[in-house]
Amino acid sequence: MNLKSMSMAAGVALLASTSLASAEGALNIYNWGNYISPDMIKKFEEKYSVKVTVTDYDSNDTALAKVRQGGTGFDVAMPSQTYVPIWIQEGLILETNPGGMENFKNVAPEWANPAFDPGRKYTVPWAWGTVGVVVNTDVYKGDINTWKIVFDTPEELKGKVNVVPEMNDVMHAAIKYVGGEQCTGDKEVLKKVRDVLVAAKPNWIAMEYNTIEKMGAGDFKATSDWNGSALRQRLKTPAIHYGYPVEGFQYWSDNVVVLKEAKNVDNAKLFQNFMMDPENAAMNSAFHRYANGIAGSEKFMPADMTTAPEVIVPEEFKKNGEILQTCAPEVTALYTKIWTELQK
Amino acid sequence: MATAAEIEKQAEAREVRNRWFLSAPALIIILLAASGPLLIVLFYSFLTPGPYGDVVWKFSTEGWVSVFLERDIFDDTLSFASAHLTIFWRSLKLALMATVATLVFGFPTAYFIATRPERTRDIWLFLITIPFWTNLLIRTFAVLQVIRNEGLINTALINLGIIDQPIQMLYTDFAIMVGMVYVYLPLMVLPLYASMEKLDFRLVEAGYDLYATRWQVLKRIIFPLVRPGVVAGSILVFIPAIGAYVTPSVLGGGKNMMFANLIELQFGQGRNWPLGAALSITVMAIVMVALLVYVRNTSGSEVRHG
């Protein structure tokens, strides 16, 4: 490196550091599609004079693979709780210590110290929800708070049930249904799981993601689904209701992390802090229709969300849920084999 | 002073250099964009899967072994990987059926166009290419709108009083075939038309003059002459059809994996990249061998004229 290019580099570095100090410039967000409120982005941009760019990903695995390759130019991403420990372990995210940030006091107690990020050293709550069953109650009048809808389908729903093809979600539901523990590698349990799945499949009509439209049009009369999706279906078709399976259902949560390779670290930290403000979190929830884990945000949410049984888990069902954990690689390998067997 | 021979030699050398320079862009693209990625895929298939996706840089043949053999997770016995074979067979069957079906519909279509007056042929060809302007996914969803329970066909039939309950067409094999034929039909019609356009229709007339039946004319005169078009069209349909998974998932409901889904699973939630890489190469090799055999068998017999 000669003197000229060295002084240039120093100049650029100086310029970059000053612009970071005043928190002006850019913020590149890598997020799930259709999952961030445009109004909230605008508010953030105006408040800190930062230009925000959002890029979509379609699955946790895509995001992980891409960020691991490096050179993405992204500052912030929203991995799910099962992936957060992997991101930490692989050294992909920066320890920004949100637990010490100004707005951390607003984080709801149940989300302040989660197992996937003890003490909130890396992550800020973005959205959380549940996975359960959605049923059109015009067709089926029985109890909908059970995985039987999917795994032991009632006569009225046979050939009309959809299953969202998320391997880990389906495996968790089936393991709970046969009475096992999540992430189990117990062959006895898995054998039951396999048998239940293979026996249940002939009653399913499809395995696809497009549930909102298909439940609305009546192609499906029941499906496994995420709660936010369920809420949107009920608002369109009042007979559609969401069930919390008594056998055990999962809580999931997506979280804001700052990448180690981030160029705009200060803006990213500001964004983490910004997301823990109840008003901002509520703006975001009003868009993506999930709860956010920030206490006090209910006050700013639209009325159809503050009373929605899809968003506010009814007290009687709370105990049946558990946060989905990261399963060991060798256990995932077993699940993949069962999954292939199911769909062969 | 250079002699005439030396000058000529120099000119020749220049010529060779020029040729290399002119073909360099194509060579670079073939190397970087076609062979390069394939070599990487081949290389990855011999590595060890990383714990959470990606690969660990350690040689392993496990990926290749598990393409063909599987260890039963319950009794630990090693057996033939029947799940992979079932899934491969499903993709292959679907691709073959789509090829035959597009040929059945494409042949008369191409014949019709080729026998129009020259002025109007372009309009017909233009109509065939229109679907190409639209994205594959959108065309597939259009088919979905037509055949679903609340779709065009069922609504019309119910309103006309022909049926009371909608006919379940979506999420059946029938739906997949309709979608595949619709999506791939132009790929069959265009090469068929190109062959038929060159067809000398006086030979057809001569056939009729010699008291050949319509079937004989088709079988003994037209079909042998347009065979190159049939071969090209079949290959153009077969190759994308065997890798298809958008159409089967949207119209078939995605309950049963296609081979492409199986590969995708290994790179996604299955987190076994070497197996995914090995599966990709396997399917490519099988398709290549099948095509070589097919082309050799169909283009070997030259048509005798006169």
Domain boundaries, chain A: 20-126+253-299, 129-251+308-343
| Token pair of B226 as six digits | 């347009």
Share of chain B above pLDDT 90, in %: 64
Which of A 133-152 lie inside 8 A of B, CB atoms?
none
Residues of chain A positioned with their CB less than 8 A from the CB of B249: 208
> Smallest Cβ distance to B265: which of A187, A204, A340?
A340
Residue pairs between chains A and B whose CB atoms are closer than 8 Å: 95
Name the least confident of A121-130, A192-201, B188-197, B239-248: B239-248
Rounded Cα gap, residues B102 and A243, in angstroms: 45
CA distance, residue A212 to nearest chain B CA (Å): 15
Burial class (CB in 10 A: 0-12, 13-18, 19+), B167: middle
Share of chain B above pLDDT 70, in %: 97
pLDDT at B72: 81
- Per-residue pLDDT at B76 exceeds 80: no
Q: Which amino acid is at A137?
A: T
Question: Looking at residues B83-106, what average pLDDT do you find?
Answer: 94
Q: For the domain A129-251+308-343, what is the CATH code? A: 3.40.190.10
Instruction: Provide mean pLDDT across the span A64-78.
Output: 94
CATH 3.50.50.60: does it fit domain A20-126+253-299? no
Q: What percent of chain A has pLDDT over 90?
A: 88
Confidence of residue A7 (pLDDT cuts 50, 70, 90): very low
Q: How far is A79 from chain B (nearest CA, A)?
A: 14
Nearest by CB: A61 against B53, B70, B149 = B53
Q: For A185, name the nearest residue in chain B, comparing CA atoms only.
A: B73
Type of residue numbered B152: L
Least confident of A13-27, A285-299, B87-101, B121-135: A13-27
* Closest residue by Cα to residue A325 from A159, A168, A155, A209: A168
The predicted model gives A323-339 an average pLDDT of 93
CA A263 to chain B, closest CA, distance in angstroms equals 25
Mean pLDDT of the region B126-145: 90
Domain assignment present for residue B197? The answer is yes
pTM: 0.85
In sequence order, the 6+-apart residues with CB closer than 8 A to the CB of A129 are A226, A227, A228, A251, A252, A253, A290, A291
Mean of pLDDT values over A221-233:
95
The stretch B71-89 carries a mean pLDDT of: 85
The pLDDT of residue B299 is 63
Per-residue pLDDT of A159-188, as tens digits, reads 999 999 999 999 999 999 999 999 999 999
Nearest CA of chain B to the CA of A201: how many Å? 8
CA nearest neighbour of B104 among B93, B115, B96, B114:
B96
Rg of chain A on CA atoms, in Å: 22
Place B47 in a pLDDT band, splitting at 50, 70 and 90. Answer: very high
Q: Identify the residue among A62, A168, A211, A337 best suited for mutation to test binding to B, counting B beta carbons within 10 A and taking the highest.
A: A337
Among B235, B234, B260, B263, which Cα is nearest to B247's? B260
The reported pLDDT for the residue numbered A184 is 96
Residue A17 pLDDT level (bands cut at 50, 70, 90)? very low
- Count the alpha carbons within 13 Å of A134 in the hemisphere toward its beta carbon: 31
What average pLDDT does the segment B273-279 reach? 95
Whether the per-residue pLDDT at B275 is higher than 60: the answer is yes
Q: Is the pLDDT of residue A5 over 50?
A: no
CA nearest to A90 within chain B: B52
A202 touches chain B (CB under 8 A): no
| Domain that residue B124 falls in | 82-299
Domains A20-126+253-299 and A129-251+308-343 share a fold: yes
pLDDT range class, residue A20, cuts 50, 70, 90: very low
Q: What's the mean per-residue pLDDT of chain B?
A: 90
Under 8 Å between Cβ of B193 and B110: yes
- A299 to chain B, any CB pair closer than 8 A? The answer is no
For B51, name the nearest residue in chain A, comparing CA atoms only: A329
Q: How many domains does chain B have?
A: 1
More confident residue, B165 or A150: A150
- Please state the rounded mean pLDDT for residues A214-218: 93
How high is the pLDDT of residue A14? Answer: 44
Reported confidence tier of residue A12, pLDDT bands at 50, 70, 90: very low
The reply to whether B3 falls in a domain is: no
Q: Which residue from B minimizes the CA distance to A329?
A: B51
- Report CA torsion sign: B208, B213, B214, B217: negative
DSSP for A85-125 reads: HHHHHTT-B----GGGSGGGGGB-HHHHS-TTSTTSSS-EE
Q: Are residues A208 and B253, on separate chains, in Cβ contact within 8 Å?
A: yes
Interface check for A217 against chain B (CB to CB < 8 A): the answer is yes
Tell me which residue in B255, B269, B272 faces A204 most closely, judged by beta carbons.
B255
Q: Which of B44, B150, B158, B269 to mutate to test the interface with A (most CBs of A within 10 A)?
A: B269
- A277-294 pLDDT, tens digit per residue, is 999 999 999 999 999 999
Is A16's pLDDT higher than 50?
Answer: no
A31, β-bridge pairs:
A56
CA–CA distance from B216 to each of A342, B210, B225, B231 (Å)?
49, 11, 13, 21
Give CA–CA dist A259/A268, Å, rounded: 9
**Mean pLDDT of the residues in chain A:** 91
- Identify any residues that bridge with A257 across adjacent strands, giving them in sequence order: A77
In chain B, which residue's Cα lies nearest the Cα of A86? B52
> By the 8 A CB rule, do A116 and A323 touch?
yes
- Residue A169: count other Cβ atoms within 10 Å of its Cβ: 19
**Strand pairing category for A124-136 and A249-258:** antiparallel
In a domain, B45, yes or no: no
Q: Domain holding B274: CATH number?
A: 1.10.3720.10
For residue A16, give how far its alpha carbon lies from the nearest alpha carbon of chain B (Å).
33
Residue A14, H or E segment: helix A3-21
Say if CB A332 and CB A340 are below 8 A apart: no
Task: Mark yes or no for CB contact A343/B86 under 8 Å.
Answer: no
Window A:59-88, CB contacts with B under 8 Å: 59, 61-62, 64-65, 68, 86
Q: What is the ipTM for the molecules in this complex?
A: 0.82
Question: Given this model, what pLDDT does residue B2 score?
Answer: 63
Facing residue for A206 by CB, picked from B254, B265, B269: B254
pLDDT at position B290, please? Answer: 86
CB contact under 8 A, A61 and B268: yes
Rounded to an integer, the average pLDDT of B199-205 is 90
**In terms of pLDDT, which residue wins out, B72 or B126?**
B126
Residue B60 pLDDT more than 80?
yes
Q: Closest to A201 (Cβ–Cβ): which among B87, B255, B271? A: B255
Mean pLDDT of B173-187: 93
Within 10 angstroms of residue A343's Cβ, the number of other Cβ atoms is 22
- How far apart (Å, rounded) are the C-alpha atoms in residues A161 and A211? 11
